[in-house]
Structure 1
Amino acid sequence: MFDAIVVGSGMSGGWVAKELTEKGLKTLVIERGRHVEHGSDYKDGLQPWELENYGMVPEDEADKDYFVQKRCYAFSTANQDFWVKDSDHPYTYPADKPFLWIRGYHLGGRSIMWGRQSYRMSPMDFESNAKDGHGNDWPIRYEDLKPWYDHVEKFAGISGSKDGLPQLPDGEFLPAMAFTGTEVDFKKKLEAKWPTRKMIMGRAAHLTAVTPEQEELGRSTCQYRALCERGCSFGAYFSSLSATLPAAERTGNLTIVTDAIVHSVVYDPKTKKATGVRVIDAKTREGRTYEAKVIFLNASTIPTAQILLNSKSEAFPNGLANRSDAVGRYLMDHISLGAGGTYPGFEDRYHHGRRPNGFYIPRYRNVTEKAESFVRGFGYQGGIYRDNWRRGVNAPGVGAELKNNMRKPGPWQVRLTGFGEMLPRKENRVTIHQSNVDQWGMPIVNIDCGVGPNERAMLDQIGKDAREMLESAGATNIGVATYYGGLGLGIHEMGTAHMGKDPTKSVLNKYNQAHDVPNLFITDGSAMASGGCQNPSLTYMAMSARGAHYAAEFLKEGRI
């Protein structure tokens, strides 16, 4: 019997494990994938010529086994073992609504491969559902989460600048990374043309300076290699493996079990509490049960819904904690659309190093500039870098002329990608097949999720605004994507077990505690009642630290 079980070892699960163990709780972390050793299992030290196929996975292998994962920008032979084989992990979706589910099943989860952009949600984000009527009102507000944002930022290490923007609250930052000279020029032109739009350096979970605690955990400053998706042996960016799990391990209160697929949560109708979890050994297919006083589901948005829906009983015939029929519903992602062009001038300059970050243009639509055709808004991530010799891969020419052209840097290229908020809608949902199971006996999930008129209007505006900003700055050869790429590629799944005030409409209360099962907590992306347009991982971290705090307090007080 453990004090607590945490299902999942990624972004949120690692935080829960750290907080609970530091409060003295004997905690079991269950990871469905293999063990990964921080540092020694990474390929971040390999030179380009040392990578198999120069980092490119053979097309026939990618098409056969990684037909979804290959769509992720970070997929390569340098980290191929961090991505699931789609051929081994099936799921379904309607033919007219594909959902591209990017996954990594291993210790540390997607915290190893994430994009590291780290932004707080704002007061307006927590109030939006109540104000415009979409989705269900959050049971908390920004002020409830603010001290926990402070807490996780200080430990994780977030670089950024204090910009005083109400739609993007400032935090506890390490020094910000620097703009390139061309980006400084673009910023001046942008803010002169549109004073209500601001361009800031991206807020990223990279150490630009090291605190004593971070140093004690073996972490050091960013080396500006931009090889982050391989894992970072320096521990320069935040991940479960570089930070939260080592912090939990040093307490002596942590047990980790890998290759254990959680099948369902065990519920006792007499006590009306969860007593443990059933697992399937990923290697032997044998079943076993672990017991604990408190259960945290942090398996990530879609698997958490899968586990709840599979945890059926006489008390919960439609899935555990699902009296509201909200489990699996209100699935969200972020929609995105890219644009780019050639930036003029600065031919006597070049960028320094490979900065693993870019600039950010925070949301301005429906903040300082009204949008007539949609509610909520979007922000842009981007960067301006000078072309190097790799542009020659697709350049016309042969022989001496081509070689001479490649000896000189190419032009500066600017890239903007808009990320927009998706409305929470009940019909966007995850369900499980009743008879179609995977090789481990788990019901396969069906993802039925699509964009609506609001998202389509927003995507149109993202493209128009991007083109206008690039043209105003003097960019040439401008291209704007005509298709957003498909849901799932935002890799920000949220909302399948959301927080809310009304137990008949939501799954969790203001403490991330299940309305119907008092010792069950959920603090991964499934808990989100809305998504804002910011990258959500920092909010998952803050919710996880906060939820773990209350769970420990409630357990101590005998309330659960």
Structure 2
Amino acid sequence: MNCVQEVISKKISENYKDRHLVHARWAHLTKPNQIHLDQGRAKCQARNMCMRGCPFGGYFSSVSSTIPWAKRTGNLTIRPFSVVHSVIYDDKLGKATGVKVIDTNTKEVIEYKAKVIFMNASALNTNLILLNSTSARFPNGLGNDNGLMGKYVAFQNYRASVTATMDGFLDKYYFGRNPTELILANYRNLRQQETDYKGGFTTFMGAYRAQRPQETTPAVGGDYKDALTEPGGWQVYMYLQGETVPKITNHVRLSKDQKDQWGMPLLITAVEYDDNDERMIQDFLTQSAEMLEKAGCKNIEKHENKQAPGLDIHEMGGVRMGKDPKTSLLNEWNQLHLCKNVFVTDGACMTSTGNQSPSILYMALTARAATYAVNEIKKGNL
């Protein structure tokens, strides 16, 4: 933490016994172990270029870790420039036999055979592919006898934020571009329903030195450039990552008459916020502004951007897990109830969103399902 973050964290702990503002832990290497070094990875360099793909491998990604690791086995084939059209289902065998792929450059249609298929196209694309995987047995999408595929799509709510300033600390700065923020874990509705909305939210927080307002005119020359190197005062922010409640009305479906350049039907997304989301937003704004005020911040402002769903991240649902084939598409091992050699382990499998960042959970579900699939193949069940 930098100095302002430390102060705010301490003040929140003093005023709220159930709220703990701590430093976030993302998938970064602070100290590589031998397995990471063997993968060619190095420690995080505090460059904050994670989203572009870290050339040091300090931030986990398939490009830096799992793909090179899989390549070493000699059993990996990567097929770039590909759009997966559908999963191929054999009515006589009663299982999937492969996938149909369209080359994005030549538009050639290629079929790949497989014993087992894992769907990890990201939530909405996995829904698209499975809905487009039709056959005589499954005219409405692979495994979609109950008609629930594409339903109960959910996401996380990022519409609210609070900004402020902090006086003083002008003799302090910080090193590097910290790729992680501070996190205040959810403190709402943990042990009982205590608010007028369901679910909860994670609060992300940061503090930084803003650029000093420039008074030099004109905005050219050496004096102006020198002034740019002098930081201004401290800025503080908090923003919402809120849980949304899955609803059958929030859904995706295939367009009946519009297709993309590869002949794939467009995916129609029909998703909206509801009163539960609105009440959560107001509670977040009230609580966050109150915490920053008690921490000594000034110029506190509440923001609500009213942006549409889908402009952020963490889409989930549509191919939900469950014990009952009447109310779900996947079993407890992420297998399609009605097509056992197809697994779905990305966000499409989720039945609720929670308020945490979910990607590492998807990795855990995938590892778990892959281990199960390997054992089932060895037993002759797949």
> What TM-score comes out, normalization by structure 2 length?
0.95
2:208 is aligned to: 385
Cα deviation 1:156-192 (Å, max 9, x = unaligned): xxxxxxxxxxxxxxxxxxxxxxx11111111110111
Name the CA distance, whole Å, in 1 between partners of 2:353 and 2:176.
33
2:145 is aligned to: 323
Name the CA distance, whole Å, in 2 between partners of 1:518 and 1:408.
62
CA contact (8 A) 1:421 1:533 kept: yes
CA contact (8 A) 1:196 1:369 kept: no
Equivalent residues in 2 for 1:86-165 (5 A)? none
1:347 is aligned to: 170
Name the CA distance, whole Å, in 1 between partners of 2:229 and 2:262.
54
1:28 is aligned to: none
1:462 is aligned to: 284
CA change 1:432–1:449 in 2 (3 A) is same
Name the CA distance, whole Å, in 1 between partners of 2:381 and 2:24.
42
Deviation at 1:363, TM superposition (A): 0.2
Whichever of the two has the greater Rg, that structure is 2
CA change 1:311–1:404 in 2 (3 A) is closer
Name the CA distance, whole Å, in 2 between partners of 1:311 and 1:467.
49
CA change 1:499–1:379 in 2 (3 A) is same
Counterpart residue type for residue 214 of structure 1: H
CA contact (8 A) 1:378 1:533 kept: yes
Equivalent residues in 2 for 1:257-276 (5 A)? 257-276=79-98
Deviation at 1:371, TM superposition (A): 3.6
**Which residue of the other structure, out of 238, 244, 257, is the alignment partner of 1:416?**
238
Deviation at 1:408, TM superposition (A): 3.2
Counterpart residue type for residue 150 of structure 2: G
CA change 1:404–1:256 in 2 (3 A) is closer
Name the CA distance, whole Å, in 2 between partners of 1:444 and 1:407.
48
Name the CA distance, whole Å, in 1 between partners of 2:324 and 2:217.
68
Name the CA distance, whole Å, in 1 between partners of 2:230 and 2:265.
56
Counterpart residue type for residue 325 of structure 2: P
Equivalent residues in 2 for 1:201-216 (5 A)? 201-216=23-38
CA change 1:180–1:369 in 2 (3 A) is farther
Unpaired stretches in structure 2, ≥5 consecutive residues: none
Deviation at 1:501, TM superposition (A): 1.2
Cα deviation 1:429-463 (Å, max 9, x = unaligned): 11011221111000001000011111111111111
Name the CA distance, whole Å, in 1 between partners of 2:103 and 2:305.
41
**Which residue of the other structure, out of 376, 384, 391, is the alignment partner of 2:199?**
376
Number of residue equivalences? 378
1:551 matched to 2:370? The reply is: no
Counterpart residue type for residue 352 of structure 1: F
2:40 is aligned to: 218
SS in 2 for 1:455: helix
SS in 1 for 2:107: coil
Deviation at 1:325, TM superposition (A): 1.4
Name the CA distance, whole Å, in 2 between partners of 1:402 and 1:282.
49
Counterpart residue type for residue 452 of structure 1: D
Cα deviation 1:227-276 (Å, max 9, x = unaligned): 22222110100000000111111111111111121111111112210001
- Structure 1's consecutive aligned runs of 4 or more residues displaced over 4 angstroms after TM superposition are 399-407
RMSD: 1.7
Unpaired stretches in structure 1, ≥5 consecutive residues: 1-178
**Which residue of the other structure, out of 481, 484, 496, is the alignment partner of 2:318?**
496
1:398 is aligned to: 217
Cα deviation 1:322-364 (Å, max 9, x = unaligned): 1121211111110012211111221211112211111100000
Name the CA distance, whole Å, in 2 between partners of 1:202 and 1:484.
27
Deviation at 1:367, TM superposition (A): 1.9
1:448 matched to 2:270? The reply is: yes
Counterpart residue type for residue 374 of structure 1: Y
2:184 is aligned to: 361
Name the CA distance, whole Å, in 2 between partners of 1:280 and 1:353.
44
Name the CA distance, whole Å, in 1 between partners of 2:85 and 2:193.
47
CA contact (8 A) 1:459 1:484 kept: no
Deviation at 1:396, TM superposition (A): 5.5
Name the CA distance, whole Å, in 1 between partners of 2:49 and 2:324.
45
Cα deviation 1:441-492 (Å, max 9, x = unaligned): 0000100001111111111111111111111112112221122432113311
Counterpart residue type for residue 457 of structure 1: R
Equivalent residues in 2 for 1:235-254 (5 A)? 235-254=57-76
Cα deviation 1:104-130 (Å, max 9, x = unaligned): xxxxxxxxxxxxxxxxxxxxxxxxxxx
**Which residue of the other structure, out of 323, 334, 347, is the alignment partner of 1:525?**
347
1:56 is aligned to: none
Name the CA distance, whole Å, in 2 between partners of 1:408 and 1:544.
48
Name the CA distance, whole Å, in 2 between partners of 1:227 and 1:328.
34
Deviation at 1:420, TM superposition (A): 0.5
Name the CA distance, whole Å, in 2 between partners of 1:398 and 1:407.
16
Name the CA distance, whole Å, in 2 between partners of 1:257 and 1:407.
47
Counterpart residue type for residue 205 of structure 2: G
Name the CA distance, whole Å, in 2 between partners of 1:420 and 1:184.
24
Choose between structure 1 and 2: higher helix proportion: 1
CA change 1:195–1:558 in 2 (3 A) is same
CA contact (8 A) 2:198 2:276 kept: yes
1:291 is aligned to: 113
